[in-house]
Amino acid sequence: MARRHGGDNIWAFNNVSDLQAEPFGSFKRGETARITMVNDTAFPHGMHLHGHHFIEVGADGTFGDLRDTTLVAAGESRDIICVFDNPGQWMFHCHMLSHAVGGMQTWVNVA
Ligand SMILES: [Cu+2]
């Protein structure tokens, strides 16, 4: 049976389900990163980053509000800019908890 992603659970983040041993991203303390989230599903996902806030980048390139969660609609994408200034290992997951439990969770390392 064909699957839409390479993970073992219902949902995946970056083509992998559930928390993995390796982080989704590793950042040096104070590093600024622009991350593009592409939602190729038929559901909205409220993407939530622990330990940090980020700026949403609008489709026209303007900077939006400072947030720790952003809603990415079905079939759309969203860029965020985050200054990773809080060292630690931080969850990055969908805030629809059934999605998170179903595999849509990862983490970032800030050192
Ligand atoms: Cu979700």
For residue 61, pLDDT beyond 60? yes
Residues 6+ apart with CB under 8 A from 7: 15, 16, 17, 18, 103
What is the band of 3 on the pLDDT scale with cuts at 50, 70, 90? low
Q: What pLDDT is stored for residue 1 in this prediction? A: 40
Backbone conformation region of residue 86, classed left if phi is above 0, alpha if psi is from -120 to 50, else beta? beta
Q: Is the pTM value of this prediction over 0.75?
A: yes
Ligand 1 centre distance from Cα of residue 12 (Å): 9
High-pLDDT (> 90) share of the chain, %: 89
Mean pLDDT, residues 29-36? 98
| Residues near ion ligand 1 (Cβ under 5 Å) | 45, 94, 96, 99
What's the CA-to-centroid distance between 14 and ligand 1, angstroms?
A: 13
Residue 6 has pLDDT above 80, yes or no: no
How do the domains of the chain map onto residue ranges? 25-110
Pick the CATH number of 25-110 from 3.40.50.150, 2.60.40.420, 1.10.260.40, 2.60.120.10: 2.60.40.420
Interval between CA 26 and ligand 1 midpoint (Å): 23
CA 77 to ligand 1 center in whole angstroms: 13
